[in-house]
Structure formats: structure tokens, C-alpha cells
Amino acid sequence: MKQKNILEAAAEILGLQAASYPILRRCANLVLANIAANHRECLATQTFDVTDGRIEYKDFKKTFLRVKSVSTGTYSLFIDFMQVHTPHSGSGINGRVEVTYCYIPAFSKKLGQAIRIPNLAEKTFIYGVITEYALISGMFNEAKVWNEKFEAGLFQTSEKHKNLRW
């Protein structure tokens, strides 16, 4: 999905001009955060040199959300916190570790860049942007209608929907 296409489509549906792109970009970032946190995992892997099992949040290249796994080469751990210990010793790991984590993608200021979210249709994302714009503009009835479309689009491409048996 090209960012420019998303902003243009949302602006057209809302009857807005290109001057409204900055506010629509903020809406898009809210939608990205919602999707990444609640619906689709955006994963990244990064290698760190660790001392005493500590990894600082500021050292992650992308906007950190949660850890999926940590691998030292010897151990692979699946954790929900950032203090990494070796099994049975309680002491922090020292050395090189590879962390796979969920992150929140961000809408760039460069309109030509693409946004990649697994199994998400462009129109669904546009519905989310319109929903956020309607909410911040006080158009609550419109926001409800667009949010229903957004949620339906998310559900249609979700794992939950694929696992349903009729």
C-alpha cells in the first residue's frame, strides 16, 4: 500500500484537500498502532550486545511493542519482559543475543513509501483512517459506520475468520 494512495483516497471520501494530509497522516499512525497492537503483528529481528541481561528500549530500531523471542545461539527463549536470564542460573546473559519483537510501524513523511502489514487490504486501512478522522472531528455517527467497515475488513482477513468452519 502506498501512503500517498491511502491519504488521497481518504481525503476524497471525506471531501478534503491535500492540505489535510498532515492530520490524515496522524490518523494513519493511530490506525497503524491499533492494528499492530491488536490485530496484526509486525515483526522485526535485531541483534544486541548484552551486558548483565539488559536491553534498553531506546536501542531498538523500530518502535518497540513487545518481545516475541530471544536467542543466544545456545538458548531460545520466549519471554514477555526485558531482563534476560540463563535457565536455572538467575544471572543475566552476556554477549550477543538476537531479539525478535513486535513493533508499531509509522507513516513516513515521504508519501511515496509503502506500508506493509500482513493480510491487510488497502481499503480496510483507508476505512480506519476515515474512522479516526471522523472521531477527532466529532462526527461520531459517521465514525461508527466507518469503524464497522474497518472492523469487518480486519475480521475477513484475520486468522480467526480463516479458522471458522461452516
Q: What is the 3-state secondary structure (H, E, C) of 63-97?
A: EEEEEEEEECCCCEECCCCCCCECCCCCCECCEEE
Q: What value does the mean pLDDT take over residues 49-59?
A: 81
Closest CA to 101 of 77, 73, 118: 77
1 pLDDT above the threshold of 90: no
77 pLDDT above the threshold of 80: no
- C-alpha–C-alpha distance, residues 140 and 29, integer Å: 20
Higher pLDDT, 29 or 78: 29
Cross-strand bridge partners of residue 67: 101
Most confident of 59-63, 94-98, 134-138: 134-138
**Nine cell digits for residue 30:** 493511530
pLDDT tens profile 7-43: 999 999 999 999 999 999 999 999 988 988 888 888 8
Domain layout of the chain by residue ranges: 3-40+107-158, 43-104
> If pLDDT is split at 50, 70 and 90, which confidence band does 161 have?
very low
Residue 115: its pLDDT value, please? Answer: 77
- C-alpha–C-alpha distance, residues 31 and 8, integer Å: 16
Amino acid identity of 81? Answer: F
Collapsing DSSP to helix, strand or coil, 164 comes out as: coil
117 pLDDT above the threshold of 90: no
What angle (nearest 5°) sits at the alpha carbon of residue 73, between those of residues 102 and 51? 75
The order of strands in the sheet holding 76-77 is 43-50, 95-104, 63-71, 76-77
140-156 and 122-136 are packed helices; what angle lies between their axes, rounded to 10 degrees? 160
pLDDT tens profile 79-90: 544 454 445 445
- C-alpha–C-alpha distance, residues 6 and 115, integer Å: 10
101 pLDDT above the threshold of 60: yes
What angle (nearest 5°) sits at the alpha carbon of residue 121, between those of residues 109 and 123? 75
Q: What value does the mean pLDDT take over residues 129-134?
A: 97
